Structure 1
Amino acid sequence: MASLSEYLPYAFALIIAIPFLVLLRQFVHSYINLKNQELKLLSVKSNSENKAQAYERMTLFLERIKPSNLIQKFDKGLAIHEFIFLTEKTINEEFEYNSSQQLYLGKNSWQNIVDSKLAIIDLLHKTYEGLSNEVNLEEFKTILLVNYMNGNDYISATIEDLRREILIVA
């Protein structure tokens, strides 16, 4: 039968080791919590950067589809229907490229962007339908600009809505 004195060194080592183990556990737990908080902050920062980038990209998209910018694209030797086809194709391709940005925009802002895109395409077609066959491309472009200027400036209104929304989000 072993005496109590044989277990005394083990008991002493255990008594000394327990506080160190408790402190080590607390240190590891605190370290993990700090790292989790850091990851959350980085995630929030990244998300806000993504939102800002989405607003920038969609504002650039809207600027590009303004008729004053659209009429500068493509060769002057195109037929009007070719210009309309290429312009509509360009608008749709750029819109599709940027469509993932809707994840970061408000529902109303995204709908305004979609409506602006559709309104520009509709304006292209309505302007073409209202013309005689004797009109050349330069005249068509001028009429397109006049029609846009005489209507509601929905693109500028949408950009202004995006500005207000990003100020609220930021």
Structure 2
Amino acid sequence: MTFDTSSFIILAILSLFPALVVAGGMYLLTQKYLERDYRKRLLEIRLKNSEAILPVRLQAYERIILFLERITPSNLLIRVSPSGLTAAEYQAHLLQEIRAEYTHNLSQQLYMSEVAWQQVKKTKEDVVTMINQTYQSLEDKSKGTELAKRVLETILHNEIDPTTQALQFLKRELQEVF
């Protein structure tokens, strides 16, 4: 029996074929195992991170809710007394108080959803706008007590506090977490 080169090549290919099939199967199995192991480790890391981050996120929401409560006009007007101030001085004092509270809590946006943070920013601007518009409606020589009275009248007239919607939104978002 004589072998020519073409027969030898065919015989070599036929004898290598099972080895290539086994090697390919081993490669695919190894890839799937490594991929599954990678996903498992990634999941473990995310779980550990969420265990560490969840308390910080809750604290951020607590601080933002406290911020919103502090800038709620009725609470703000009680905390920042208008006694002895002109309406212009009282307006400036109220706006400075809101800005200070906001600046103090600015870093909390890192732990909140973008939608929640935008709601907080909008609420702050709504409170500032309400104070500014109310101040603009006063006479030049008005006292701070008149500004406070008019802001409260505006809230009663509108029957909704500008911070209510944001507070409700944050509470709903937190309920989704738990």
What TM-score, normalized to structure 1? 0.72
Q: CA RMSD in A?
A: 2.2
The reply to whether residue 49 of structure 1 matches residue 55 of structure 2 is yes
Q: Work out whether residues 74 and 152 of structure 2, in 8 Å CA contact, stay in contact via their aligned partners in 1.
A: yes
Does residue 153 (structure 1) correspond to residue 161 (structure 2)? The answer is yes
Q: Which amino acid aligns with 2:119?
A: N
Aligned to 1:80: 87
In the TM superposition, residue 105 of structure 1 has moved relative to its aligned partner by: 1.1
Q: Does 1:119 align with 2:126?
A: yes
Aligned residue number for residue 27 of structure 1: none
Asked if structure 2 preserves the Cα contact closer than 8 Å seen for 1:116 and 1:155, the reply is: yes
Residue 69 of structure 1: aligned partner = 75
2:171: which partner in 1?
A: 163
- Cα deviation, residue 43, structure 1: 2.6
| AA matched with 1:64 | R
Letter of the 1:159 counterpart: L
CA distance in structure 2 between the partners assigned to 1:41 and 1:124 by the alignment: 45
Asked if the contact 1:71/1:141 (under 8 Å) is kept, the reply is yes
Moved over 2 A (4+): 39-43, 133-136, 148-154
Distance 1:134 1:89, change over 3 A: closer
| Aligned AA (2:103) | E
TM-score, normalised on structure 2? 0.69
Paired positions, count? 136
Are 2:87 and 2:145, in contact at CA under 8 Å, matched by a contact in 1? no
Q: Distance in 2 between matches of 1:154 and 1:132?
A: 24
Alpha-carbon shift at residue 165 of structure 1 (Å): 0.1
Q: CA deviation at 1:135?
A: 3.1
SS at match of 2:51: helix
The offset of 1:136, in angstroms, is: 2.2
Whether 1:131 aligns to 2:138 is: yes
CA distance in 2 between counterparts of 1:82 and 1:134 reads 11
Residue by residue over 1:40-76, the C-alpha shift from the partner in whole angstroms, topping out at 9 and shown as x without a partner, is: 5443222111111111000000000011111121451
Stretches of structure 1 lacking an aligned partner (at least 5 in a row): 1-32
For 1:9-48, list aligned pairs within 5 A. Answer: 37=44, 41-48=47-54
How far is the alpha carbon of 1:138 from its aligned partner? 1.5
